Every structure is written in C-alpha cells, then in structure tokens.
Amino acid sequence: MGEPHPATVLNVNDDDANRYLVNRLLSLAGYNVVEAATGMGALLMAQQHRPDVIILDVKLPDISGYEVCERLRANPQTAAMAVLHTSATFVTSDKKVRGLDGGADAYLTQPFEGAELIATVKSLLRLRHAEQVARQRANALAEMDRRKDEFLAMLGHELRNPLAAIMTAIGILERRPTSDDKEARMRGIIQRQTNHLARLVDDLLDVSRITRDKVELRPGSVDLVPVLRQVLQIVQPMADSRGLGLDVSLPSGPLWLQADATRLEQVFTNLLDNAIKYTDAGGVHLRAEQEGVGGAAQAVVRVKDSGIGIPPEVLPHIFELFAQADTSLERSRGGLGIGLTLVRKLIQLHGGEVTARSNGPGHGSEFVVKLPLDHTMGKSAPARDAVDLRRGRRVLVVEDNSDARQAMRDLLELWGHQVAVAPDGLQGVALAMAQPPELALVDIGLPGLDGYRVAQTLRAQVGNGIRLVAMTGYGSPHGRDQALRAGFDRHLVKPVKPDELDRILSEL
C-alpha cells in the first residue's frame, strides 16, 4: 500500500516576503504548496489545483479575501475547501466575525508563530476529512434509500398483481350463491386475508413515503360519517370471525371535513383493525361526535377496546415506527409496526391529532382522533346520476398477468359486458383499432408497449370517445399524474375490489 498523498495548501498573499515565509513553513511541514498574489488568481488556482486548505489574506490588491471566500463557497467545485483567513490590519473582532460568517473556517492575526499556523492547518485538515467521511456516508445512505424505494415499488407491484387476480376471483365467487356453509366460510377467509394483505402492502409502501415526507393528500369536502360506515363494512367480517361485538355510535347529522377520504378510510381501518386484532374477548367501541362550537369545533372519533392493553413503558412510543404493543417472542398478533405511524402522520397532515390511552396490560386501549370541522359546508353536493353499465358495454382488458386477465374477463362478463382481452400493449392497440371499445382497462407494466403509450396511441387514433382506466401495482402519486397526462380518465391501484371497480365504471 502506497504512502498517502500530502495535502495541498494554497497560500494567497500580496506581500512577497510574507508569502515566501508561509510557503517555507508549509513545505517544511510536508505540504504541497501553491500560491497566488491576488484574489482573482486565488480563484483560478483553487479551480486548477483543488487545494485541501486555502490560507487567504483578507487585504488583497483586487478583491478582498472576504469576497474570495464568498465566491469559493458559492461554487460547488470549491465549496468544501477549508479556508483560513489571515490579516495584519483587520484585526478587530467585528472583522473576524465578518470573515467567519462569510464562510471562513478559522482566523489568524499576523504575525503568528509557525507552530500556530501548522497546528491550525492540521486542525482544518482533520475537519475537512471528517466532513468528507460524513458526506460519503450521507451519499451512501441516500443511494441505499433510493434503492430501497425502488425495491419497495417493485415489491408492491409484484405483490399486487397476484392479489388483484385473487380479489377479482373471490368477487366472482361471492356473486354465485352457495348452500355449502363450509365453502362460504372458506370464501370469507380468502376475502378477509386478501384484504389484509392488500392493506399491509399499502402500509409498507406508504411508510417509505412518510419517512421522506412524500405523502400527498387529495383533499375535498368529505362527510366523515359515511367514511366510518364504509370502514365498518370492511372490518365487520374480521370482528365476526373473532366473536367480537362492534358497538357503534355515529351522529345523525354530517361531520364535514376538508380531507382526503381515501386516507381517512386508511386511518380508521388501521385503528379498528388493531383494536380487533388485540382483543380476545369483549368488544370494540367506535364513537364519533362533534365537540366544541364555532371555529374551535372538531370531529372526535374514539376507538376503544377491551383487549391486551399497552404497557406504560410502550405507550409514549406507540406511534413510533416499528413500535409494537405485542412484544412477545411468538408475535402472535402479527403486523409490521407501521400502522400507527401512518395514522399519526396522516392525521397531522389533516391538521388534527391522535392520542393513545391505556391503563396497562389487560385493561384495553383507547385511541382518540380529533379533526377540524369544515364550517363552509352547509349541505352535501348534489349527487350525479349514475350510468348503468349493466346494459352490456364493449370493454377491452389489456393485462399481461394471465390469471388476473382471465379473472377480470369473467367478472365483467358476469356483469353483462362484451369483453375482449389482450396480453400486451401492441395486441391491445390492434384490438382497439379493429373494433373500438367503449371502455378499456389497461395495465401499466405491459411488455412491448407500456400502458402509458397504449393510452397515448388510443387517444390519438380512436379519440376521446373511449374511456381509459389505468390499473397498476405502482401506487405513487407520480404514477397517477403520469397516467392522467397520458390520457387515462382514472388511475386504479391493484388489487381493485370488485365493488370499487363497479363504482368507477358507473361513474365513467
């Protein structure tokens, strides 16, 4: 292994004798020395030689050392260089402060001892080395974070594709009545566990966005009461399977919020799912009401259970990432420890707060969510007339996953539509050109011609008469925006629930 290269020091001073003396001291100390007599010369030498340390006199014949330092800091190629100001005339404290505030790392007043100069240079080199190490570590962490995000996006896509096929298939089975109790139970198990897997995938991807403050809301006027009723429909089968009662108290009138309805559904599904999961006997209580009046009025939702409770030492950290109430080795309750982190972040983004209470193990838990009410809403907007697609529309499904493609075809035909299918983008475009469908469901990650290009081609060749719906395993806001720019009318993230698909088709 070779010896490390000696550090390079740029010595900037217009006094020849002073510059020679400093050069001599630095050379004897083992440093490579380059020099300049003017401020502009210093900037040029810094660019050419990339010194580790610049000894910069404040008083120079063209521009001051202060300005030289400011220009060095403003240039990304020289910003990390250590700068030592020296001066024989500007020695007042305010001048030193000006130099340090302007970007200098240290300040020496001439005349100074040679040992003091060399010790200061060594100190600056240690500082520069530490900064380089820290910068390299930060860059490495940033690269690891980027790769992690790419991996999670790909993981989400790969998990959502099979989930989409399973969810569509169970949707078909549910529409075929059965008298076999065992078969009905098996269908219920498949549906509950598929929904649970879909929520875990969503949480896993959302927590990556939350840690980078990339979560986006799409707020609008939302009545919280129907949102909670929808959540109750989702969690009721799980409560039934555990023999738990759901005690619900909702107001008779609306609770209007400026909120993202999808995110609120995610919040309260998480809270109720946790309450049910951590309760072995008794029940779960959901209560929503308005508290306060005027501008201070809030919607308050309480989710209370009679379950395992939260230990006092865990309670202060329950909303932290990967915190768990169930810390036993067997981890029988499952979960990733990220749901409550998502809950807190999403509620904070809505301008609200969430708190947790528990009297300890065995005494249950209560989570209280408070959200500001929207006082501009007096009544709900008039509902739009839904279009009944049951009359039999021409629908094109472009999907490369064979199971998902077949399940979607069977479901749509069960609803009475005429369905054509294609396994890739090129065949999808060819089918649409031969007989234009009224609606096309297009996967984004297609071989050959991806879904974005399919949409652009169909918009250019078929026109705006066709309705286009993107279906993808990538759920990022960027992907949604890109889909809309490509010409899609809607963007759906897999797995798409049959009821949700039915609603979207009706709205289009």
Q: Where are the domains of the chain?
A: 8-112, 216-372, 389-507
Query: Kindly report the CA angle at 212 between 145 and 138, in degrees rounded to 5?
Result: 45
What is the arithmetic mean of pLDDT over 15-33? 92
**pLDDT (tens digit, 9 = 90+) per residue, 129-180?**
888 888 889 888 888 877 877 777 677 767 777 888 888 888 788 777 777 8
Whole-number mean pLDDT of the chain? 84
Q: Pick the closest to residue 86 from 144, 176, 21, 5 (CA basis).
A: 21
Let me know: does 481 contact 363? Beta carbons within 8 Å. Answer: no
Query: What pLDDT is stored for residue 425 in this prediction?
Result: 92
Q: What is the fold of 216-372?
A: Heat Shock Protein 90 (3.30.565)
Q: Can you tell me the distance from the alpha carbon of 232 to that of 236, in angstroms, rounded to the nearest whole number?
A: 6
What is the arithmetic mean of pLDDT over 382-393? 49
Residue type, 301: V
Exposed / middle / buried, residue 448 (Cβ in 10 Å: 0-12, 13-18, 19+): middle
The backbone region for 253, taken as left when phi is positive above 0, alpha when psi lies in -120 to 50, beta otherwise, is beta
**pLDDT (tens digit, 9 = 90+) per residue, 453-462?**
999 999 998 8
Residue 48 pLDDT grade (very low, low, confident, very high; cuts 50, 70, 90) = very high
Residue 55 pLDDT grade (very low, low, confident, very high; cuts 50, 70, 90) = very high
Q: Could you tell me the two tokens for 135?
A: 């910068």
Residue 91 pLDDT grade (very low, low, confident, very high; cuts 50, 70, 90) = low
Residue 28 pLDDT grade (very low, low, confident, very high; cuts 50, 70, 90) = very high
Q: In terms of CATH architecture, what is 389-507?
A: 3-Layer(aba) Sandwich (3.40)
Specify the pTM.
Answer: 0.51
Query: What pLDDT is stored for residue 173 in this prediction?
Result: 81
Residue 187 pLDDT grade (very low, low, confident, very high; cuts 50, 70, 90) = confident
Q: Could you tell me the two tokens for 286?
A: 């959901």
Instruction: From residue 217, give the alpha-carbon distance in Å to each of 154, 167, 263, 377, 500.
Output: 23, 26, 8, 19, 20
Query: What pLDDT is stored for residue 102 in this prediction?
Result: 82
What is the arithmetic mean of pLDDT over 94-105? 82
**pLDDT (tens digit, 9 = 90+) per residue, 102-122?**
888 888 888 888 899 999 999
Residue with tokens 């807190």: 344
Q: Can you tell me the distance from the alpha carbon of 26 to that of 23, in angstroms, rounded to the nearest whole number?
A: 5
What is the arithmetic mean of pLDDT over 499-506? 79
pLDDT of 47 > 70? The answer is yes
Q: Can you tell me the distance from the alpha carbon of 248 to that of 240, in angstroms, rounded to the nearest whole number?
A: 15
Query: What pLDDT is stored for residue 386 in this prediction?
Result: 39
Query: What pLDDT is stored for residue 381 in this prediction?
Result: 41
**pLDDT (tens digit, 9 = 90+) per residue, 313-323?**
988 888 886 55
> Residue 245, SS3?
strand
Kindly write down the DSSP assignment for every residue of 418-435, as one continuous string: EEEEESSHHHHHHHHHHS
Q: Can you tell me the distance from the alpha carbon of 287 to that of 366, in angstroms, rounded to the nearest whole number?
A: 11
For the domain 8-112, what is the CATH code? 3.40.50.2300
pLDDT of 219 > 90? The answer is no
**pLDDT (tens digit, 9 = 90+) per residue, 220-279?**
889 999 999 989 988 888 888 888 989 999 999 999 999 988 889 889 998 998 899 889
Q: How many Cβ atoms sit within 10 Å of the Cβ of residue 459? A: 15
Which residues, including other chains, have CB under 8 Å from residue 126's CB and lie 6 or more apart?
Answer: none
Q: Do domains 8-112 and 389-507 have the same CATH topology?
A: yes
Q: Pick the closest to residue 318 from 366, 285, 350, 272 (CA basis).
A: 366
Looking at the DSSP bridge assignments, the partners of residue 369 are 301, 354
